[in-house]
Amino acid sequence: MSADAPILEMTDVSKRFRTPGGFGRRRNGFLAVDGVSLRVERGEALGLVGESGSGKSTLARMANGLVTPTSGTVRTDGQDVAALSRRGLRRLRRNVAMVFQDPLASLNPRQTVRQTLENVYRAHGETTSTGELVALLESVGLGPDYLGRYPHEASGGQLQRVAVARALALKPDLIIADEPTSALDVSVRAQILNLLADLQRDQGISFLHVSHDLAVIRLYSDRVAVMQRGRVVETGPSDEIFRSPQHPCTQALVAATPEAELPT
């Protein structure tokens, strides 16, 4: 780990998907991410916002090696992800955890919460104790009784807490949260977002927070990057971006967010 390097640095990163039978703009595949450069500093929450299909998820997945860039460089902790050995990649996965949109889909329905969490440790050659698991659940606001539960025995909000616990298990430096609340009831969205904000503040974890919801990004991100058609068209501190959006795409996103949802 290098103390000075940003936790995530992407330089001129592109991703072209090969799409069989494509024509016109898609003849040579589809350029989902087009020359993006961005950084997430230690302890910072960067919000990635943009319309549907603008490339946010693809970019987020390149940040932890789930998707391989067609060109450009991704560095986590100063290390070039493309140059990592198998072992290095495993280390990357413990250092950069993901929380996905739909907790039910991201958890195995046949495994209890205990098994789900134990598997994370096992995958990295570690063992854990019940005490550790209870403490982990406690850190996301769940009692010890959840250890024996199956996914269908918990609500969407509780399951997303389990998914956050799973992400936290190996003490990552960066959590990539891809629309972590959009599958949840409005009433529990704020609880999950507050939980993530607490983790950033109390444990110094950095966040790359992907959302199409500008109000959420403004509340929970220090800086914002706005994507349109595979490119980052504007970046800046959250408040500034919302107070005086410069790019037409950002202006349109701000205009489409109801005033009541834009805290002052």
Ligand X SMILES: Nc1ncnc2c1ncn2[C@@H]1O[C@H](COP(=O)(O)OP(=O)(O)OP(=O)(O)O)[C@@H](O)[C@H]1O
Q: In the complex, what is the shortest distance from the CB of residue 26 to ligand X, in angstroms, rounded to a whole number? A: 9
For ligand X, which residue of 21, 52, 83, 186 counts as binding (CB under 6 A)? 52
Q: Can residue 35 be called a binding residue for ligand X (CB under 6 A)?
A: no
Please, which residue, 57 or 95, has the CB nearer to ligand X? 57
Q: Does 97 bind ligand X (CB under 6 A)?
A: no
| 244 is a contact residue toward ligand X (CB under 6 A) | no
Q: Please give the structure tokens belonging to residue 250.
A: 């950002």
Choice between 136 and 224, CB closer to ligand X = 224
Interaction of residue 21 with ligand X, rule CB under 6 A? no
Contacts of 77 (CB under 8 A, 6+ apart): 1, 2, 5, 7, 95, 173
CA distance 256 to 259: 9
In the complex, least distance from residue 219 CB atom to ligand X, rounded to whole angstroms: 19
By CB under 6 A, tell whether 228 contacts ligand X.
Answer: no
94 or 231: CB nearest ligand X: 231
227: CB partners within 8 A, 6+ apart: 36, 48, 49, 50, 54, 55, 56, 59, 233
Of these, 7, 36, 45, 50, which contacts ligand X (CB under 6 A)?
50
CA distance 253 to 140: 32
One-letter identity of residue 29: G
- Could you say whether residue 150 binds ligand X (CB under 6 A)? no
Q: What values do phi and psi take at 64, rounded to 5? A: -120, 20
Is 103 a binder of ligand X (CB under 6 A)?
no
> Positive or negative, the Cα torsion across 218, 203, 146, 108?
positive
Which residues in 186-202 are b (16+ Cβ under 10 Å) and which e? eebbeebbebbbebbee
Regarding 183 and contact with ligand X (CB under 6 A), the answer is no
- 58 scored as a contact of ligand X (CB under 6 A): yes
- Per-residue tokens: 10: 């992407």
Among 14, 54, 64, 250, binds ligand X (CB under 6 A): 54
- Decide if residue 182 touches ligand X (CB under 6 A): no
Distance, in Å, from the CA atom of 179 to the CA atom of 212, rounded to the nearest integer, reads 8
Among 22, 53, 204, 248, binds ligand X (CB under 6 A): 53
Can you tell me which of 36, 46, 47, 55 binds ligand X, judged by CB under 6 A?
55
> Distance between CA atoms of 51 and 86, rounded to whole angstroms?
35
User: Cα(17)–Cα(89) distance, rounded to whole angstroms?
Assistant: 22
Using CB under 6 A, which of the segments 37-45, 51-59, 131-139, 142-150 binds ligand X? 51-59
Q: Which of 1, 2, 12, 19 binds ligand X (CB under 6 A)?
A: 19
Q: Which stretch binds ligand X (CB under 6 A): 49-57, 91-99, 144-152, 201-209?
A: 49-57
Residues that bind ligand X (CB under 6 A): 17, 19, 30, 32, 50, 52-58, 212
